[in-house]
Chains A and B, each alone.
Chain A
Amino acid sequence: MDDLTPLHPDEALYAFMDGELDAVNEQQLFDELAGNTELRGEMRDILSIRNAIHRDTLFPAPSVEAGVLTGAGLASAAAAGTTAAGTAATTSWLAAALPWLRVAGGVALGGIAMFLLMSRTSDTMSTDLPPATPGTAQVAPAPDPSPSQALAGPVRVDTVVVRRTVAIVPPGLREREAAVAAAENRLATDRLALAAERLALEEERRRAAATTPESPLAAAPTLRDVPPLSTVATTLGTSAPQDLTTLRSAAYIGRPTTGLPAQLRARSLPSGLQSFETIPASVRDALVPNVAFSLTFPLTSDHTFGVELATESFVQRFTGTIAGRPVQYEQVPTLFWMGAQYRYSPAAFSIVEGLRPYAELTAGMAFSQGPVGHASIGLQYSAGGPLTFSLGFDGAMLAYQSANTWFSSSKWGLTYGMTVDIGAWR
């Protein structure tokens, strides 16, 4: 610092703190410090800043090292490098293939689950059958309203689709469905009576038109032009018992049932960050961070099983030493994981109509990281349509590896989601 002569005391102070002050100026500085309170305060401030800066240790993500080796064309080394955060013990070709193996494993698991479900319920799933057999689970036998006695014309029933037996019916559901079916029977009876009345009127008009050709009634609409009384029947006739059953069964079209094949669900996952913490760029820039999507299949009305995939952030901490000093490195990557999900939602514990508790477990594998698990409990509500809403608490844990050492990260928080019963749209 001898180039800056004569040195101002604070210039000399800064140079001294940087180890750049020569011996002559050093002694002058010490003399000045002894009698200058302000200069001592400035020295204290510089030390505070320096101490803080020396604690501000920044480390790049472990994956950058692999990127360097890849960029340098040392491919095998790069493949090995990726295992620093994942599977350090595997060989390089296995490490390269590992993500694909995991995807294939997840797909295979989902496929097996779907196959088992479909094969197990193939004879009980809803099928499209023109005539419904008496004594089905969904449609209770109903008294024959015999509206056909008043009808003389032919019978035509349009677009009738019947859902046949659903094998598993929760307790109490059968009785409720029977009550609904009875009400629908009454409605259908009323409609039939109305149709009969309308047809009778039509017949009278036709007869009147035949006797008086000039009458305007000659232009009355024919049977073919009569607007349909419902979406499923345009004319009714004498074979009423079977057709009426068909009509009653048809009334179930569009209603969500518990035995339909699949449900799609989206739910939020806790971020693991405290509310006062700044959201890191890795989470902020992610497309859909902390959201899970699942495809589930009902095993029974209470149990569902399926696959779930998500993008989720976890706070990861690595510890080690640098130059003999213990350091802790922290990052919040947004990971992609895929796994199997089981859900239990007992109808017997229904709190009010449509509201019942659920418990859920998910086990999966985060790509290039390690196993991840979720456990949730909460309440779900369905108003009877295809949508179900859920709210609950979720706890999660991720295991990950760095430098042949396993670490874990856990978090908990609120989860909320929406489920769509695909079958209800059919």
Chain B
Amino acid sequence: MATELMQRQQRAVPDEVADLELYAQLAGDDPRAQAALTQLYRRYSQRIYTYCRKILGDNLTAEDLLQETFVKLFDSGRQGRPIENFPAYLMTIARNLCLSHRSRNNKAFVPVEDFHLTSRDVPYEHKELLQLIQTSLELLPEDYREVFVLREYNGLSYNEIADVIGESLDVVKVRIFRAKKKLRDILAPYLADLNNKA
């Protein structure tokens, strides 16, 4: 619980306009809609991009789908479609686009090792670990990888993940547990070595 609370506190900014309020402003006149869309983009683009990138593994495609996600969000806002959970709704749009893209291209996950996008001040050991995590992620079944990314990279709760992927909470719990267990088993030898060095 403590971890979850910390993550939520990190996300929250006191004087921010609520997501749903910004979403409602998308139906307004152009300047207001533009400001609202820009604000929402800056809040969520990193999360959506990370999700697309980790699921599809392709930098450029992830950027395309990120763009498409927000355009679809804008269209929804223009039409005044009611929503309750903004992050889950946005993530659902991104997920559907990723699934659609994957089925359209009908190809397996293609890893892209351009980790240059990560922070340069990350120590070498961590970079190496990141690469190993990425490689290990590729070994996971798609269902497991998706819930892992939503949980660890996007910080969604189990309930939110269940909403996004349209599965029951129990299914989500089992998938997350198995994904993490499998990942840890793959990385265990390296982690033991890393801990010994430390």
Chain A residues within 8 Å of B, Cβ to Cβ: 1, 3-4, 10-11, 14-15, 17-21, 42, 44-46, 48-53, 55-61, 64-65, 67-69, 71-72, 74, 77, 277-278, 280-282, 315, 317, 322-323, 327-332
Contacts and interface: CB of A to CB of B under 8 A. Distances in A.
B119 interface: yes
A280 B50 CA distance: 17
A166 B57 CA distance: 61
B191 A65 contact: no
A59 B117 contact: yes
Contacts of B63: 60-61, 64
B10 A323 contact: yes
Contact of A14 (B60, B68, B119, B181): B181
Contacts of A15: 173, 177
Contacts of B20: none
Q: Is the interface of B mostly helix, strand, loop or mixed?
A: helix
A280 B116 contact: yes
A239 B38 CA distance: 86
A361 B140 CA distance: 52
B176 interface: yes
B122 A331 contact: no
B62 A14 contact: no
B176 to A, nearest CB: 7
A61 B121 CA distance: 19
B37 interface: yes
B68 A49 contact: no
A60 B45 contact: yes
Given A52-B126, A53-B133, A72 B71 contact: yes
B38 A65 contact: yes
A370 B42 CA distance: 24
A-B pairs, top 10 by smallest CB distance, nearest first, are: A19-B4, A71-B71, A72-B74, A60-B49, A280-B114, A68-B70, A52-B129, A77-B34, A19-B3, A67-B67
A1 B187 CA distance: 25
B33 interface: yes
B197 to A, nearest CB: 12
Given A14-B181, A51-B126, 5 more contacts: A11-B177, A48-B129, A53-B153, A77-B34, A317-B120
B181 to A, nearest CB: 7
Contact of A19 (B5, B67, B133, B188): B5
Contact of B33 (A4, A52, A74, A315): A74
15 contacts: A19-B5, A49-B184, A49-B187, A57-B118, A57-B119, A58-B50, A60-B46, A65-B38, A65-B45, A74-B34, A280-B59, A280-B114, A281-B59, A282-B59, A330-B119
A330 B67 contact: no
In which size bucket is the chain B interface? 35 or more
B45 A14 contact: no
Contacts of B42: 65
B159 to A, nearest CB: 9
Contacts of A323: 10-11, 13
A271 B187 CA distance: 34
Contact of A330 (B2, B60, B116): B116
Interface string B124-155: 00100110010000000000000000011100
Contacts of A21: 1
A329 B118 CA distance: 7
B67 A68 contact: yes
Contact of B183 (A18, A49, A59): A49
Interface in B43-59: 45-46, 49-50, 53, 58-59
Contacts of B194: 48
A278 B3 CA distance: 35
B169 interface: yes
Contacts of A48: 129, 191, 194-195
Given A14-B180, A20-B157, A58 B120 contact: no
Contacts of B2: 19
A56 B133 CA distance: 10
B4 A58 contact: no
Nearest to A23: B1
A19 B153 contact: no
B41 interface: yes
A413 B30 CA distance: 49
Contacts of A51: 126
Contact of B30 (A1, A65, A74, A328): A74
A71 B33 CA distance: 13
Contacts of B70: 68, 71-72
B152 A50 contact: yes
Contacts of B71: 68, 71-72
Given A64-B45, A68-B71, A331 B133 contact: no
Given A18-B151, A20-B158, A69 B37 contact: yes
Contacts of B45: 59-60, 64-65
Interface string B15-38: 000000000000000100110011
A20 B41 contact: no
Given A58-B118, A72-B71, A45 B38 contact: no
Contacts of B115: 278
Given A19-B5, A280-B114, A331-B117, A56 B37 contact: no
B93 interface: no
Contacts of B114: 278, 280-281
